Structure 1
Amino acid sequence: MKPGSASEKNGRASLSRHRSVWEMRSDGWIGLVDDLSRLAILPPEHPERERRLAHVRAIVEQLAPVESYWAFPGGRVFSELAQWIERDELARAHQAARRIHRVLAARTYRHDVNTLDSDNELPSQIETDSERQAQLARPYFEVLIVDEMSASEEDALRRRVQRKRNAEDDFIFDVVVVPSFEDALIATLVNFNLQAVVIRHGFPFRSVNHNDMLRRFLDGMDEGIEKMAEFERGPLLGRQIAQIRPELDLYLVTDVNVEAIAAQVGEVFKRIFFGEEDHIELYSSIMKGVGERHRTPFFNALRDYAKQPTGVFHALPLARGKSIMNSNWIGDLAQFYGMNLFMAETSATSGGLDSLLDPVGPLKTAQEYAARAFGARRTYFATNGTSTCNKIVVQALVRPDDIVLVDRNCHKSHHYGLVLAGAQVAYLDSYPLDQYSMYGAVPIRHIKQTLLDFRRAGTLDRVRMVLLTNCTFDGIVYDVERVMMECLAIKPDLVFLWDEAWFAFARCHPIYRQRTGMASAARLCETLKDPAYAKRHAAFSEGFDWDDEQRVLDTRLLPDPAKTRVRVYATHSTHKTLTALRQGSMIHVWDQDFKDKAEEAFHEAYMTHTSTSPNYQILASLDVGRRQVELEGYELIQRQLELAMSLREQVLHHPLLKRYFRFLRVSDVVPTEYRESGVESYYNDENGWNNLEAAWRTDEFALDPTRATLTIGATGMDGDTFKNKELMDRYGIQINKTSRNTVLFMTNIGTTRSAVAYLIEVLVKIARDVDQRISDMSAIERRIHEKRVRSLTLEQPPLPDFSSFHFAFRGRSVEGRAGTRDGDIRSAFFLSYDDANCEYIDMAEAAKAIQAGRDLVSALFVIPYPPGFPILVPGQVISAEILQFMAALDVREIHGFRPELGFRIFNDAALSRAAQATAARAALALSGRAAQPQEKDGEIKAAATTTPAEAARASSTTRSEE
């Protein structure tokens, strides 16, 4: 076949549709086996033969460089297969390709090193318990060797590694040899089996592979590396691999001054060896390094405890399963769960176990391993979900009257945590997406403006924390490092709490990782220590007018490295996106001042909110989930990402589905002004994933592609109906996020291609049903349906911004009456406990009262589901816009609102008393005296007298200034 022939071009075109090299590899082997099976029986003169042979050669051309980055089948074996095809030994090639594909699909190469040596038919999966136990008992991994080697040298190396295998080894590994700097980076990104990299002395920069799909991994590579001396490339390669996949163990083998190199880059490499003098030690080091990540100290301790004979003479009749085994009626519980669950049930903290509240043994070690895995300085486990984690962090860091900047649409646990902490809350508004009845995220400009407002008011010193959700339920992700840098430029001691409940998985993937709280904190710390940054900051600050607020807002700010402290906390719902039992969560800390300013308070808050009887099974699952993150997290997240993109592409191109459904793209949920890259869709056939990577590097907000929001308004069904009556009741598909005209599908590490196929099948069935219903409608029914569709697609109620806190709940922020946004939700929250302070008002009466000029102030959190954010918080003024939004909602579930009664609001007498207390505090503060208001029986007693008229005037003045 001549290069560039029509047949070859067609073959390449059929492969170019793949979204990733992994999908291409999988489908390539399927196509190769299929074509070879047909070619093996076609006569030479058959007209279809040349076309299929051209397609086979195109597949081989695509697969050859990819297979060179895996130990199985490996470049040498694949090269032999390609030679059989070129020699027209197609029957032999088909048999070999079929066997290789079966081994790859079954992954039997992971526990049987001789899978290609037998002539027997291979099973399509691991079918026997012994085979499965072999794989579990001795997990398999691959080691990347970066060195120029001949084929014979590579074979000799592989034989040497195999000879070192011992039946007592905990793992087995094979080697992959690549000859260049570029090949090493590609292999690191392509090969999921890698657990260690050995970088040898001296190798070229350029790869000889020119596969377009593989070259995309190298976009942005610094061409200057090619001019470096070969002995300098090893340490640089190690640093780059550590940034891409920090979980890998790196080893350097060099022939130059090993001591000097160890001093310079020792923190990157696990060990540095001189030449070949310690090849036995290198083998042992590799095994030990993987063993450290594989070790699960608490899970192992709990498993060992379950095997011990124990007499229980304290709490928990369920311990050791005794209350079940002695029962005539509840034996089915053990049958359902299995006895190991109950054998491990205990309230003991001895016998090899540990205390969550004061860990000194395996739990302490497990949390240290988790900190390593997630890039934190310290990590704490929680068994009460991220709701508890959020309250712990807030209580530990926020004191009464501290001001906290909070995304109004954050999880309700933050609102309640701030009530308990007694914070002054300044709610931030996310940009609205009215057409989809959802919010995006809080623009950095809005956060900066809020900080400047406090500076102008003279209360910036009281601003303690910025609390944001990353990523949001709908998948909007912040540029975390930029947010922190610009905020710290205005107030260098700010604390950041990033609620990453839905983003725990992000650590595993290089694209996601850069926008996590912990990775950004580490990077920011390194930046601030860099002398080059100090010079950059000096140039920036010279002549910069900090009093020019417009310039401050329009400029990308740089914090002062001499003053800035990096204090970052992140909370993870590990159970939501990684492997852990429900309520298993973690708190990650990167706080330079933790020891001096937070440790004692943190431990007290942890004691306050953590159960003294934590569930050990949850803790063990967190330990095992951490192991999975370090050993196969990258593979699982990449697969999750690909399945999400596959789902999106199927709906986009299906002729029936695209009539009623559409998955939102980044351009739909991130407005143009926040997309510096200009990228509208993260994937296309021309650029592959490059759009995704470019946008995540530069844009203020990015979209997590694994959050697939489907618009359904064209069906005439709202989100709640679609979720419950169609997806759940009819087809058993579970989701938990809807808006008025959208439903959210999330892929996760447990999602399979079969699950995605089933979802597509269900969507097709629903679309056909809708099609059939519309075709059967009468003219009147059709007009009703069209009106419903128009309402869902074109007539969405505008999402209301946060109105304001009533003057009565402005607390100390009324000092100077400078129009800051903060309020005291704690006093409002507890004031509502006394029914004498409250009344109810329905929607119609509320509208008339607002029009007449009365201040209606909510006594409760009011949260419609969907969209699931608080429309009102205690102490907030009910605005006409909020009423309009509430009236337009067609959802059944609204927490804090009783349809038969209406809104629970504060009556005028309660507001008057509260306003008097607030005005008194303001007066005393302005005169330099301290006020001490007292609370009794839900009524706030003022320390000084202010008439209701004066309070009303003060309230009016404050709102007008806002």
Structure 2
Amino acid sequence: MSQSTVLIVAERATADRSVPAAKVEQVRAHLCGCGHDVVLVHSAGDAASVVGSDADIAAAVVSWELVAAVVRSGDGGVLRLLLDRFSARLPVFLLTTGEYDDEAPLWVSEVVNGWIWLLEDTPDFIAGRIDFAARQYLEHVLPPFFRELRRFDDTHAYSWHTPAHAGGVAFLKSPVGRAFHDYYGERLFRTDVSVSVGELGSLFEHTGPVGEAERNAARVFGADETCFVPHGTSTSNRMIVHSAVADDEVVLLDRNCHKAVNHGVVLTRARPVYLVPTRNGYGTTGPVPPARLTADAVRDRVARTPITEGAASPGPVYAVITNSTYDGLCYDAVRVAELLGVSTAVLHFDEAWFAYGRFNPLYARRYGMAVEGARGPTVFATHPSHKLLAALSQSAMIHVKSGGGVLFDRARFDQTYMMHGTTSPLYPMIASCDVAAGMMDGPAGRWLTTEAITEAIRFRQAAVRLGARLAAAGDRPPWFFGVWQPTEVTDPDTGERVAFERAPLDLLRTRPDCWTLEPGAPWHGFDGLEPGFCLLDPVKVTITCPGVDALGAVSDFGIPARVVTAYLETRRIVVEKTDVYTFLVLFSMGITKGKWGTLLDALTDFKNLHDRGAPLGEVLPDLVRAHPARYADLTLPELCREMHDSLAGSGVIALLNEAFTNPTPPVAAMTPAEAHQHFIRGRTELVGPADLADRVVATQVTTTPPGIPVLVPGERVGPADGPLPRYPRALEGFDRRFPGFAAETHGVHHEDGGYRITCVTG
């Protein structure tokens, strides 16, 4: 067992040689001898700091005389903080030199492990009790699979099975292998074992410690069933589609769905009907409005989609909604299930960016496993454990809650699960899924999510306040960065509207109505919403740059976001996503004040460089070295002005919005599967943007991040003056004019600086 911390909170001795102080020191010495790291503090404030920063605490000893008054007042003090940070399983002892306090609140007696009378028992006996409780806690705090994997590693068994590195030994026989072994350490290789190790259970059969871990995760995430998927959410999405949909059946797809869902549609030869989301002036994709999710709207959409004629199902057998969106827009999942559950028996929430939704009351009703009801659809939710929980990359989970439609058939699902899964899973990835669930269990999940929400709100408010300070100074150009969020919130005590940056922190982190998108509110720019239907997740922070607003108004002055994030990369700050005039940063559980403080400082430095007209070679030296003829003579403001004028002139945001806010998306000339058959049989050709009009695309065209398709196989691009042919022409022109700033677009071939898109021949 790794070293653990024991926290002792005791009053500071009034005399250097007091008997209680000496006894505490003797207990501390005994615990250190047992292998514990002991932290001794003398105030509740210092104890709170330790509890907030140290996750290794395995036991706590708290002086009752030091905390009694606060506990009796109802606050709970450090005792309540320990329970909220860890759980009621954490051994907590009350230390006293007086009498038993039979006036202590009942909850204290129910959660503490007992009282320690410092002057009656020996230090060795007291330390022994604490040590025993701490070791028991550490043994049971580990989730099922990780616990058994550690035990297996501790047996030091000889390996006569795959993988051939045999616990890492093979790497030691080669200089490059030795370097690899030393870099990652022996433990990784000792736990990279074969499925032949029966005592660890079977991922495919869901037995043994693996099965126990999946059942534990189902409990933690509120699911009926959970499967671990060590192949990422992309594979998880394909598994669900492939298990729920048969040939030629109709499916409902959020147009904002991940490309992996469309891959699943190709595999199943399904006939997709797209649910069209809203978009705002920034080009941000919003929710599918509730009016487009009703049974009448779905029937109308199916009837007006040409490829549904002759389908094997009269209506949709499956529907998928992206929740939350990449930009942090969370649906009322219960309301979505009420609407779509009338049209389909299987509802899939792709929650790639929302695995933590269940663990904070701010997100009540907004995650897939919140859906209840015997008459509702069977609900799937896909979670990449690695994205916004704590797990290794590619670690993912599928959660299921059976409804009153087609009940979840685990045996049937497992056939598809095995079809897509590997027979050689990486066991540390399975363990990281197990640990991700264990970390969110009990009060820890709320504590961890609240911390991330709190830091995100502090950053949001600090960014706005910085702008106000610069404006008040009056001696420099105004702050030009913004944060996409409500400008005001309502104080429930007074009913008054309060500026967001002045709102109490506790109000913003506990009241969902501070974050819901009110219908018609100009700050978000989306149409067709109903009250409470959509919420902006505080931890997904979109920073806005001047040039356009949420309603689409283009300004004369602009600073494209790509220039800003290119500068941030020179400061070793990498953002999650860059759009035309916005960029996204994620406040995950790994965030710190140092990280967001550094980001705010870097944005301030960028503004100063822009204000003084810094040469581009000073701001983006690598870019200038790579393209000296293009950029060497430019200043930062000159580049921003040129790029803004180009983007405004091409109307790239408006083109994309026009293509996808129209309730009628691009017309499907054939199913994605039929287009794919043309592709693998070589009946396709590469077509430039100038010749793209009315062609049928054969492969997905996807901008990444986030991996949302712009064009889907089988769709007809439309007339030459339409938005879809003009959009790739605008991107191509931008890339040629501004080398080094090209967006990553999958499905596009680049030849001599031009775009080529794969289309069906003829």
Q: Distance in 2 between matches of 1:696 and 1:584?
A: 30
> Deviations 1:774-804 (Å, cap 9, x if unpaired)?
7999999977754544555795433212765
Please tell me whether residue 887 in structure 1 is matched to residue 747 in structure 2.
no
Give the Cα–Cα distance (whole angstroms) in 1 for the partners of residues 540 and 574 of structure 2.
14
Aligned twin of 2:532: 699
Match of 1:627 among 427, 434, 438: 438
Aligned twin of 1:829: 676
Residues in 1 aligned to 2:715 and 2:154: alpha-carbon distance in whole angstroms? 57
Q: Distance in 2 between matches of 1:865 and 1:894?
A: 6
Q: Does 1:860 align with 2:679?
A: no
Which SS does the other structure have where 2:382 is aligned? strand
| 8 Å CA contact retained: 2:160, 2:166 | no
SS in 2 for 1:840: strand
Q: 1:334 to 1:194 in 2, by over 3 A?
A: closer
Shift in alpha-carbon separation, 1:511–1:658, aligned structure 2, 3 A: farther
Q: In the alignment, is the contact (CA less than 8 A) between 2:8 and 2:61 conserved in 1?
A: no
> Aligned pair 1:476/2:287, yes or no?
no
Alpha-carbon distance change, 787 to 354 in structure 1, aligned in 2, over 3 angstroms: same
- Give the Cα–Cα distance (whole angstroms) in 2 for the partners of residues 807 and 613 of structure 1: 39
For residue 296 of structure 1, report the CA deviation from its aligned partner: 1.7
Identity, in percent, stands at 27
Give the aligned partner of residue 481 of structure 2.
661
1:333 matched to 2:180: yes
Matches within 5 A, 1:718-737: 718-723=560-565, 725-728=566-569, 730-737=570-577
- Tell whether 2:315 aligns with 1:485: no
SS in 2 for 1:749: coil
- Per-residue deviation at 1:683? 6.1
Report what 1:935 is aligned to: none
Q: Is the 8 A contact 1:858 1:872 kept in 2?
A: yes
C-alpha distance in 2, partners of 1:503/1:772? 41
Q: Specify the alignment match of 1:709 in structure 2.
A: 542
Partner of 2:320, secondary structure, is strand
Secondary structure, counterpart of 1:765 in structure 2: helix
In structure 2, what is the equivalent of residue 903 of structure 1?
757
Q: 2:127 corresponds to which residue?
A: none
Which aligned pairs between 1:613-652 and structure 2 lie closer than 5 A? 613-630=424-441, 632-652=444-464
Give the counterpart of 1:511 among 346, 362, 374: 362
For the residue of structure 2 that corresponds to 1:582, the secondary structure is coil
How far has the Cα of 1:899 moved from its partner? 4.6
Deviation at 1:601, TM superposition (A): 2.2
Would the alpha carbon gap of residues 322 and 686 (structure 1) be closer, same or farther in structure 2, given more than 3 Å must change? Answer: closer
Secondary structure at the residue paired with 1:467? Answer: strand
CA contact (8 A) 1:404 1:463 kept: yes
- Alpha-carbon distance between aligned partners in 1 of 2:214 and 2:635, rounded to the nearest angstrom: 64
Paired residues, what number?
A: 618
1:760 to 593, 600, 619: 600
Corresponding residue for residue 48 of structure 1: none
Q: Which amino acid aligns with 2:170?
A: S
Partner Cα separation in structure 1 for residue 110 and residue 512 of structure 2: 25
Alpha-carbon distance in 1 for matches of 2:332, 2:636: 48
- Are the counterparts in 1 of residues 337 and 376 from structure 2 also a CA contact under 8 Å? no
- 1:609 alignment counterpart: 420
Check 1:372–1:188 CA distance in 2 against 1; reply closer, same or farther (3 A cut). farther
CA shift for structure 1 position 654: 1.6
Q: Distance in 2 between matches of 1:832 and 1:471?
A: 33
Show the counterpart of 2:22: none
Distance 1:141 1:447 in 2: 55
Letter in 2 for 1:718: P
SS of structure 1 residue aligned to 2:711: coil
Offset of residue 158 of structure 1: 9.5
Instruction: For residue 535 of structure 2, give the secondary structure of its aligned residue in structure 1.
Output: strand
Task: Find 2:142's aligned residue among 295, 318, 324.
Answer: 295
The equivalent residue for 1:797 is: 654
Contact 1:652 1:658 in 2 (8 A): no
- Which residue of structure 2 aligns with residue 192 of structure 1? 84
Instruction: Tell me if structure 1 keeps the 8 A contact 2:685–2:761.
Output: yes
Q: What's the counterpart of residue 582 of structure 2?
A: 742
Q: Which moved more, 1:868-877 or 1:383-392?
A: 868-877
AA in 2 matched with 1:770? H
- Residue 4 of structure 2 corresponds to which residue in structure 1? none
- Where relative contact order (Cα < 8 A, 6+ residues apart) is larger, the structure is 2
8 Å Cα contact 2:206-2:214 kept in structure 1? no
Contact 1:511/1:696 (8 A) holds in 2: no
Equivalent residue letter for 1:610: G
Q: 1:843 to 1:678 in 2, by over 3 A?
A: farther
Give distance in 1, aligned partners of 2:571 and 2:639: 27
| Residue from 41, 52, 59 that aligns with 1:115 | 41
Tell me the amino acid that sits aligned with residue 338 of structure 1. Answer: G
Residue identity matched to 2:759: I
Q: Is the Cα contact below 8 Å between 2:299 and 2:315 reproduced in 1?
A: no
Q: Distance in 2 between matches of 1:896 and 1:141?
A: 60
Are 1:875 and 2:708 counterparts? no
- Aligned ranges 1:225-240 → 2 under 5 Å: none
Q: Is the 8 A contact 1:392 1:609 kept in 2?
A: yes
Q: Is the contact between residue 305 and residue 351 of structure 1 (CA under 8 Å) also seen in structure 2?
A: no
Q: What secondary structure does 1:773 align onto? A: coil
The answer to whether structure 1 residue 380 and structure 2 residue 261 are counterparts is no
- The residue identity in structure 1 corresponding to 2:573 is I
Q: What is the SS of the residue equivalent to 1:414?
A: helix
- Name the counterpart of 2:93: none
Higher helix share: 1
| CA deviation profile, 1:56-82 (whole Å, cap 9, x unmatched) | xxxxxxxxxxxxxxx9979xx8xx99x
In structure 1, what residue type is equivalent to 2:440?
A: V
For residues 635 and 201 of structure 2, the distance between their equivalents in structure 1, rounded to whole angstroms, comes to: 70
Residues 1:436 and 2:293 aligned together: no
Aligned CA distance change for structure 1 residues 184 and 570 (closer, same or farther; 3 Å): farther
Cα shift at 1:613:
0.4
For 2:432, what is the secondary structure of its paired residue? helix
The whole-number CA distance in structure 2 between the counterparts of 1:287 and 1:479 is: 42
How far does residue 322 in structure 1 lie from its aligned partner after superposition? 1.0
Partner of 1:245: none
Secondary structure in 2 aligned to 1:660?
A: coil
| 2:387 paired residue number | 576
Residue 612 of structure 2 aligns to a residue whose secondary structure is: helix
Question: 1:334: Cα distance to partner?
Answer: 2.1
- The Cα of 1:383 is off from its aligned counterpart by 0.5
Secondary structure class of the residue paired with 2:580? coil
Deviations 1:263-309 (A, max 9, x none): xxxxxxxxxxxxxxxxxxxx9xx999978972322112111222223
The letter of the residue matching 2:350 is D
1:319 CA drift (Å): 2.5
Give SS of 2:298's match: helix
RMSD of Structure 2 on Structure 1 (CA):
4.6
CA contact (8 A) 1:797 1:888 kept: no
Distance 2:244 2:136 in 1: 37
CA distance in 2: counterparts of 1:320 and 1:333, whole angstroms: 13
Structure 2: unaligned runs, 5 residues or longer: 1-6, 15-35, 91-104, 112-129, 471-476, 490-494, 517-530, 548-556, 617-631, 735-741
- Pair 1:667–1:610, CA change in 2 (3 A): farther
Cα distance, 1:415–1:189 mapped onto 2, change above 3 Å: farther
With structure 2 as the length reference, what TM-score do the two structures score?
0.71
CA offset at residue 176 of structure 1?
Answer: 8.3
Aligned positions of 1:357-376 closer than 5 A: 357-376=204-223
- In the TM superposition, what is the alpha-carbon distance from 1:312 to its structure 2 partner? 2.7
Pairwise CA distance, 1:635: 1.7
CA offset digits 1:203-255 (Å, max 9, x no partner): xxxxxxxxxxxxxxxxxxxxxxxxxxxxxxx9xx99xxxxxxxxxx999xxxx
Deviation at 1:904, TM superposition (A): 2.4
Q: Which amino acid aligns with 1:756?
A: W
Deviations 1:675-722 (A, max 9, x none): xx9999766426952584225675211101111111234695533443
CA distance in 1, matches of 2:61, 2:760: 64
When residues 830 and 736 of structure 1 are mapped into structure 2, their CA distance, relative to the original with a 3 A threshold, is farther
